[in-house]
Structure 1
Amino acid sequence: MDFSRHLDCLAADYDRLRAVVGTGADVPVPTCPGWTVADLTRHVGDVYLHKTLAMREGVEPEPWPPAEFAEEEPTALLDRGYTALRAEFATRAPRDPAATWYAPDQSVGFWIRRMAQETVVHRIDAELAAGQAVAPVPADLAVDGIDELLKVFAAYSVAAWGDYFTDVLDGSPGRTVLLRAGDAAWRVRTGPGEFAVTDGAGGGTADVTLSGSPQAVLRRLWNREAAGAEGAVAVEGAIEAAEELRRCIVVATQ
């Protein structure tokens, strides 16, 4: 995806998110245990403002969020955060430097992509909490989100902060997971201290294959899976291999 497309998706999903969170602030969010819609709304606003400062100041601000944010009405904080984020993106080129937690990419473009993906996932959270139909995720955004989750979150986290994955991977016999999302595919190899991702289906057998539409696979990997056959992901093979993948992603995205 190019960055203009990410920004278009960010705008569309923000509009949908904002419309959904405007009511039912005290409703629990089933995919974010312990959160209400108000908590979800505040979180997204916090994230937008945090990334705005990471670009503006050249360092990710810590500690975060500031105490005074707790006094701000959640939708007002969300609106303020989004306005600030888009204004910051408008003044910078994707290749401009920006502080990020992902060492290989210290650019504004990293945050453009990350905020598009952050917003679509939390838009789904809001829709599920409100009991509303989940709007479709465009196939290109979903494929990009799967790629980001596997490579930027999971593979990088295992390489950079391997100690966090000891409980998941140290006892692994070495497994191969094949993911198919429409026409896109990835092969993941796990093992002690290992989480390697290659593009394409590759050759040889896999311990487990997960396949479905791009949005179905994205939602499964983010633990926002759709109910019913229409949104289901087919799992063929060793369920323990799929569970190992799931546990790695949970640790990487905490």
Structure 2
Amino acid sequence: MEFTRFLDCLAADYDRMRTVVGTDADAAVPTCPGWTVADLTRHVGEVYLHKTVAMREGVEPEPWPPKEFAEEEPAALLDRGYTALRAEFATRAPGDAAAGWYTPDQSVGFWIRRMAQETVVHRIDAELATGRPVTPVPDDLAVDGIDELLKVFVSFAVAEWGEYFTEILDGSPGRTFLVRAGDAVWRVRTGPGEFAVTDGAGDGGADVTLSGAPEAVLRRLWNRTGTEDDDGVRVEGAPEAVEELRRCIVVATQ
């Protein structure tokens, strides 16, 4: 995706989220246990401001968030965070250097992509919490979100912080997963200390195949389906293998 496209998606999902969070601040967020809509709103505002500071100062600020943020009304914090984030993006090129936890890509472009994906997931959270219809996720954004989740979150986390995945992967017999989202396909190989992702179906069979429309697959992998009855995703494979993939994603994204 082009960076201008990411920014357009970010704007659209922020606008939708901002409308929704103003309707029921006390509603529980089913996809973020223990959070209310107000907590979700505050979180996104804090994330926006954190990334703004990381770009501006060249280092991710710690500790975070500042104590004074707790005194600010959640929607006002969200508005302030979004305004600051967009202003920072407007002053920089995607290729400019920026601090971040993902060492292979220390650029402003990384945060443009990440904030677009952060916002669409939390926009879905807000809609599920308030009982609003979930606005469709464009196919290109959903496919990119799946790619980011598998490669930037899970594969990178297993390589960098493998100790957190020891309980999940050390007993793995070595499994292959195919994730299909429309025309896009990823092949995932797991095993002790391994979570390797390649584009395309590759050769040979798979222990698990997960397939569906891009939005459905994105929401299933991020556990944003809202219901397990029929989310439009087809899963074929042994339950213990499916669980291995799920647990890796949970650890990498918590």
TM-score range, shorter chain: over 0.9
Instruction: Report if aligned partners of 2:188, 2:198 keep a CA contact under 8 Å in 1.
Output: yes
The one-letter code matched in structure 1 to 2:67 is A
1:5 to 2:5 alignment: yes
Q: Deviations over 1:139-173 (max 9, x none)?
A: 00000000000000000000001001111111111
Instruction: Report if aligned partners of 1:179, 1:211 keep a CA contact under 8 Å in 2.
Output: yes
SS at match of 2:205: coil
Q: Which residue of 2 aligns with 1:174?
A: 174
Q: Deviations over 1:45-93 (max 9, x none)?
A: 0000000000000000000000000000000000000000000000000
- Report the Cα distance in structure 1 between the residues aligned to 2:146 and 2:228, rounded to whole angstroms: 21
- C-alpha RMSD of matched pairs (Å): 1.0
Q: Which residue of 2 aligns with 1:211?
A: 211
Q: Which residue of 2 aligns with 1:138?
A: 138
Q: Deviations over 1:190-227 (max 9, x none)?
A: 01000000101111010010000000000000001254
Q: Which residue of 2 aligns with 1:24?
A: 24
Amino-acid identity (%): 81
Spell out the pairing of 1:1-254 with structure 2 (5 A cutoff): 1-227=1-227, 231-254=231-254
The one-letter code matched in structure 2 to 1:240 is E
- Report the Cα distance in structure 2 between the residues aligned to 1:191 and 1:153, rounded to whole angstroms: 17
Structure 1 stretches lacking a partner, 5+ long: none
Offset of 1:40 from its aligned partner? 0.1
- Give TM-score scaled by structure 2 length: 0.98
Q: Deviations over 1:4-50 (max 9, x none)?
A: 00000000000000000012111100000000000000000000000
- Report the Cα distance in structure 1 between the residues aligned to 2:97 and 2:107, rounded to whole angstroms: 4
Q: Deviations over 1:87-134 (max 9, x none)?
A: 000000000000010000000000000000000000000000000110
Moved over 3 A (4+): 226-231
Offset of 1:232 from its aligned partner? 2.1
Offset of 1:240 from its aligned partner? 1.6
SS at match of 2:196: strand
Instruction: Report if aligned partners of 2:50, 2:60 keep a CA contact under 8 Å in 1.
Output: yes
The one-letter code matched in structure 2 to 1:184 is A
The one-letter code matched in structure 2 to 1:149 is L
SS at match of 1:185: strand
SS at match of 1:231: coil
- Report the Cα distance in structure 2 between the residues aligned to 1:228 and 1:252, rounded to whole angstroms: 22
Query: How many corresponding residue pairs?
Result: 254
Q: Deviations over 1:229-253 (max 9, x none)?
A: 7632101122221111110011101
Instruction: Report if aligned partners of 2:178, 2:201 keep a CA contact under 8 Å in 1.
Output: yes
- Report the Cα distance in structure 1 between the residues aligned to 2:242 and 2:5, rounded to whole angstroms: 31
Instruction: Report if aligned partners of 2:52, 2:85 keep a CA contact under 8 Å in 1.
Output: yes
- Report the Cα distance in structure 2 between the residues aligned to 1:178 and 1:78, rounded to whole angstroms: 37
- Report the Cα distance in structure 2 between the residues aligned to 1:234 and 1:153, rounded to whole angstroms: 23
- Report the Cα distance in structure 1 between the residues aligned to 2:16 and 2:215, rounded to whole angstroms: 17
The one-letter code matched in structure 2 to 1:111 is W
